[in-house]
Amino acid sequence: MRHLLTLFDLNSHELNRILSAARVLKKMHAGGQRPAVLQHRVLALIFEKPSLRTRVSFESGMAQLGGSSLFLGDDVGFGKREAPSDFTRVLGQFVDGVVCRSFSHDTAATLAKYDCVPVINGLTDLAHPCQAMADVLTIEGEFADRPLTENHLVFVGDGNNVSRSLALICAMLGMKFTLACPNGYELDQPWMSKISERYPDAKLSQTTDPIAAVSTADAIYTDVWTSMGQEAESAQRRKDFADYQVNSDLMKHAPETAIVLHCLPAVRGEEITDDVIDGPQSRVIEQAGNRMHAQKGLLAWLLNPHWVGENVPE
């Protein structure tokens, strides 16, 4: 049974197969084709956190691939009414896969523990693998005239679940990654050590200087300074990140060809200004759209590998 809790669950070849499937399905979608790759398959979505992109992109993606989805709220009682083992094994009798969007990564890990159906991490406090795959599709599409390995992704902000996943996917694909953040907000050492062990040639760095970081960036990425569940820290975080706003002054130090990314939702006027997120270098809407295409590639790879083998070039 294969799961995607973090990108460590994949090797680089498998990741590239998923991205290739995403590209094929995206091209077909653009041409008006919606092949029934997952006809009669059912995907369950268990969400503890509110969502626009994750929920709608998975539900729409399943529908476009000929399948269906079920959004499971508090009424199903996961973790409350019955033992997780009973809940998960019973759920596996009805559906073909599960997307879990939770506060604690342990929640998603618990669902995967019983190996009933593939479990996909739709966001946890540890990682956001589906977002990272969509981000790579966006960067690749923008700079299609050169190898992905020649791109430099700079994340201006926190060493959070999104930047963890970005650092890892850059290591897997040979891209350069830099985190620009205040002291105390770096990527955690256990995560970085695991990346280094798995990908010793990874081109990863961290700095406290956002100006120097963006000077060679191809993509400049930011996220909210205070994530869901960190509200008590918001005042301190606004103070600590005051010099890390992605604004027109910072963009003056970046190449004119650099694009701006944000996983959304954004706190406009905090981590990013209106003129940048709505400006000509912004690709945040295309980036959001790529969530569906990346996840369609992932769903096809997990639930119909035969179709991927026959229709996706190596």
What 8-state DSSP symbol labels residue 246?
B
Tell me what pLDDT residue 82 has: 85
- Which of 181-185, 231-235, 272-276 shows the lowest per-residue confidence on average (mean pLDDT)? 231-235
Tell me what pLDDT residue 78 has: 78
Q: CA-CA distance, 198 to 196, in Å (whole number)?
A: 5
291 is catalytic: yes
Section 183-195 average pLDDT: 97
Q: Which two tokens stand for residue 129?
A: 């693998």
Q: Under a CB-based contact definition with an 8 Å cutoff, are residues 130 and 10 in contact?
A: no
Instruction: State which H helix or E strand residue 193 sits in.
Output: helix 189-198
Give the pLDDT confidence of 89-114 residue by residue, as tens digits: 999 999 999 999 999 999 999 999 99
Q: CA-CA distance, 113 to 291, in Å (whole number)?
A: 26
Q: Which amino acid is at 229?
A: G
Q: What residues form the annotated binding site?
A: 101, 128-131, 161, 223, 227-228, 263-264, 291
- Kindly indicate whether the domain formed by 130-288 is annotated with CATH number 3.65.10.10: no
Tell me what pLDDT residue 183 has: 97
Given the residues 105, 116, 131, 283, the one annotated as active site: 131
Q: Which two tokens stand for residue 183?
A: 């002291």
238 is catalytic: no
263 is catalytic: yes
131 is catalytic: yes
Q: CA-CA distance, 36 to 240, in Å (whole number)?
A: 49
181 is catalytic: no
Section 281-294 average pLDDT: 98
Q: Do domains 7-128+291-311 and 130-288 have the same CATH topology?
A: yes
7-128+291-311: CATH number? 3.40.50.1370
* Kind of pairing between the strands at 203-207 and 176-180: parallel
Q: CA-CA distance, 155 to 206, in Å (whole number)?
A: 9
Q: CA-CA distance, 75 to 81, in Å (whole number)?
A: 10
pLDDT of residue 59 exceeding 90: yes
pTM comes to 0.96
Q: CA-CA distance, 183 to 166, in Å (whole number)?
A: 19
Please report, for the chain, the start and end positions of each structural domain, with discontinuous segments joined by +: 7-128+291-311, 130-288
Q: CA-CA distance, 264 to 244, in Å (whole number)?
A: 17
Residues 6+ apart with CB under 8 A from 297: 18, 19, 20, 21, 22, 23, 24, 25, 133
More confident residue, 228 or 210: 210
Instruction: Write b or e for each residue in 272-310: b if 16 or more Cβ atoms lie within 10 A of its Cβ, otherwise e.
Output: bbeebbeeebbbbeebbbbbbbbbbbbbbbbbbeebbee
